[in-house]
Amino acid sequence: MKITFYGAAKSVTGSQHLLEVAGKRILLDCGLSQGRREESERLNHQFGFEPASLDAVVLSHAHIDHSGKLPALVKNGFKGMIFSTGATRDLAAIMLPDSAHIQKADAEYLNKKRAKEDLPPIEPLYDLEDALSAIEKFVSIPYDLSFPIFPGITLRFLEAGHILGSAQVELTMEENGRKKTLLFTGDLGRFDRPILRDPDLSSRPDILITESTYGGRNHEGQEKSLLDLEHVIRRTVKRGGKIVIPAFSVGRTQEVLYFLNLLKVAGRLQDIPVYVDSPLSFNATEVFKLHPEVYDSDLRDLLYAGHSPFQFSNLHFVQSVGESKAINTMKEPMIIISASGMCENGRIRHHLKNNITDPRSTVVLVGFMAEHTLGRVIEERRETVNIFGEPYALNAEVVDIDGFSAHADSDALMRFFRAVSEHVEQVAVVHGEEKSAEALAVLIRAEKNVEVVVPSLGDSIHINGTI
């Protein structure tokens, strides 16, 4: 039994972990890397293993940094099945084609500039046909059902509470007379948050692969986050500016709408237009309605009573490119929510380009910004930022509200570890920048005398062995 880490090792994107057990090769997640442009493109165009050699992929959830490389995997020879929850499959069915479309659109936009500079054109990583081929390979498994995927290997999905359909991946494995249980958290959500159920605490693994995005750091409370959002909207409107919110189309956008609705119902939000500029966000919001099995009781009661927290007056879902461009010609104050969450691709970059030099406007960051992404550069409040290869002065106000994050913070990660760690012998800390991953590793070692590793890219661990 062996696990090799091909992504999200001392970094937050590109989740890929290869499990070799009982003669099978199973990939946990297959995500796109984001960050420095050249480095990300290099990582996204290579795997470190032969895709055709894999027997299966098990997908924790649909976010692109966990699923976005699946079409490239299929394009390069993968023939097996992709196991996920039903909601993850439904989201992937809209997100992977959208990813292909964004890559094509971004390549076309950049190639116009490259042609003027006599540079060779760039090619998208994959196309729509590759995305559709990947979707055909999905096999949906309900939560909490022990499902044998190969002889000696049983899969169970447990609620992760991160986004719609997100799951912890539990694999019970038998090899050479030994039986071990591995638990991969995927992205772990927060406890006592609106919309989704809390993370499941029922697993008792021998080997734990845990995320660490917020290792060593805790979030501010919900009411403070709401108050911060209310205040930034008020002062930006008073200046006559626009509020630009980069947000992932799945999960974060719906949660931001939920909180804006809370402010509106409480009479704390001015009646200004809110534009959700992402066709994927609209489609993902529709998918939410198809999966009441993942809601918490409060959201289920609201929806059954006919009240959608994702809809309110003066809320507009933007579909076409023409509508998106029209927003930037409007002068009045407004809220613009657009993807991608880390500002690495999609329509958000156009909105930033058109508003980031305006001192009246505000960029509100509501999630984690990985190292070397455009979102991180804005978060660091650099004097100038590059968008589509051109420098722009960062004159807009920048506000970071991390209380809206969908990731468990340090206290929640340790609460989770204490609950599941009864039989844990080995822990691998992934999906966190090195400082965060090491901080969580220190906390885990202080909690329990177990082997804890923070792997680098390409490192392997042997079950009951050493790195």
Q: CATH number of the domain at 11, please.
A: 3.60.15.10
For residue 63, give the H/E element and its range.
Answer: none
CATH of the domain at 400: 3.40.50.10890
Round to whole Å and give the CA distance between 366 and 130. Answer: 32
* pLDDT at 68 exceeding the cut of 90: yes
Answer yes or no: is 306 within a domain: yes
What phi and psi, each to the nearest 5 degrees, are found at residue 428? Answer: -115, 125
Q: Which of 244-248, 268-272, 300-304, 311-315 has the lowest mean pLDDT?
A: 300-304
Q: Could you give the percent of the chain with pLDDT greater than 70?
A: 98
Domain assignment present for 416: yes
Selection from 241, 234, 243 nearest residue 359 by Cα:
241
Task: Choose one of 380, 404, 428: the last residue of a domain.
Answer: 404
Do 210 and 185 contact (CB within 8 A), yes or no?
yes
Q: pLDDT for 355-367, tens place per residue?
A: 999 999 999 999 8
Identify residue 462 by its one-letter amino acid code. Answer: H
423 and 383 share one domain: no
> Mind listing the pLDDT tens digit for each residue in 363-380?
999 988 888 889 999 999
E strand segments, 12-146: 16-21, 24-28, 56-58, 81-84, 138-140
Enter the tokens of residue 169: 């991946």
Indicate whether 299 and 167 sit together in one domain: no
Residues 97 and 109 in one domain: yes
Answer whether residue 121 is part of any domain. yes
Q: What is the pLDDT of residue 351?
A: 94
Same domain, 389 and 412: no
DSSP string covering 399-467: EE-GGG--S-BHHHHHHHHHHHGGG--EEEEESS-HHHHHHHHHHHHHHS--EEE-PPTT-EEETTS--
Tokens of 398: 């920048």
Token pair belonging to 13: 């994107």
Residue that the structure tokens 């590109």 belong to: 14
Lookup: tokens for 227: 């108050």
Kindly state the greatest CA–CA separation across the chain: 69
Token output for 139: 């096999």
pLDDT at 258 over 80: yes
Q: Spell out a b/e string for 127-160, using b for 16 or more CB atoms within 10 Å of the CB, else e.
A: bbebbebbbebbeebebeeeeebeebbbbbbbbb
What is the C-alpha separation between 378 and 245, in angstroms, rounded? 12
The confidence score (pLDDT) of residue 213 equals 95
Question: Is 116 domain-assigned?
Answer: yes
- pLDDT 10s digits, 140-198: 999 999 999 999 999 999 999 999 999 999 999 998 888 999 999 999 999 988 788 99
Return the C-alpha torsion angle 53, 59, 63, 67, nearest 10: 10
Residue 467 predicted with pLDDT over 50: no
CB 29 within 8 Å of CB 18: no
Do 341 and 443 have their domain in common?
no
Residues 66 and 212 in one domain: yes
Q: Return d(Cα 104, Cα 247) in angstroms, integer.
A: 21
More confident residue, 44 or 54: 54
* The two structure tokens encoding residue 237: 């409107």
Contacts of 27 (CB under 8 A, 6+ apart): 16, 17, 18, 19, 54, 56, 57, 58, 73
Predicted pLDDT of residue 38: 77
Residue 56, beta-bridge partner list: 26, 81
Residues 66 and 201 placed together within one structural domain of the fold: yes
Whether pLDDT at 299 is above 80? no
Rounded CA-CA distance 59/48 in Å is: 18
Last residue of a domain, one of 404, 423, 446: 404
Q: Is the pLDDT of residue 11 over 70?
A: yes
* Residue 465 clears pLDDT 60, i.e. is over it: no
**Within this chain, do residues 264 and 375 fall inside the same structural domain, yes or no?**
yes
Tokens coding 151: 């002889």
Q: With left for phi above 0 and alpha for psi between -120 and 50, is residue 161 left, alpha or beta? A: left
Helix/strand/coil for 247: coil
For residue 20, how many C-alpha atoms fall within 13 Å in the half-sphere facing its CB?
9
Confidence at 72, pLDDT banded by 50, 70, 90: very high
The residue with tokens 């939920």 is 258
**Which of 404, 421, 446 is the C-terminal boundary of a domain?**
404
Total number of domains in the chain: 2
Same domain, 99 and 207: yes
Name which residue leads in pLDDT, 138 or 301. Answer: 138
Instruction: Identify the CA nearest to 158 among candidates 40, 54, 58.
Output: 58
* Tokens, residue 413: 């990660």
How far apart CA 57 and CA 75 sit, in angstroms, is 15
Q: What percent of the chain has pLDDT over 90?
A: 67
Residue 467 domain-assigned (yes or no): no
> What range does the domain containing 313 cover?
222-404
d(CA 19, CA 239): 54
- How many residues can be counted in the chain? 467
Each residue of 434-459: pLDDT tens digit?
A: 999 999 999 999 999 999 999 999 99
Number of Cβ within 10 Å of residue 172's Cβ equals 18
Q: To 5 degrees, how large is the angle CA 115–CA 65–CA 168?
A: 170
* Mean pLDDT computed over 264-271: 86
- The verdict on 114 and 73 lying in the same domain is yes
Domain presence at residue 239: yes
Q: Is 244 exposed, middle or buried (0-12, 13-18, 19+ CB in 10 A)?
A: buried
The DSSP H or E segment spanning 133 is: helix 128-135
Residue 160: predicted pLDDT: 97
Q: Are residues 127 and 186 in the same domain?
A: yes
For residue 332, pLDDT over 90 is answered with yes
Residues 323 and 422 in one domain: no
Judge whether 118 lies within some domain.
yes
Give a yes or no: residue 278 inside a domain: yes
Q: Which of 360, 399, 361, 359 is nearest to 378 (CA)?
A: 399
Residue 466 predicted with pLDDT over 70? no
Q: Is the pLDDT of residue 106 over 80?
A: no
For 88, the 3-state DSSP assignment is: helix
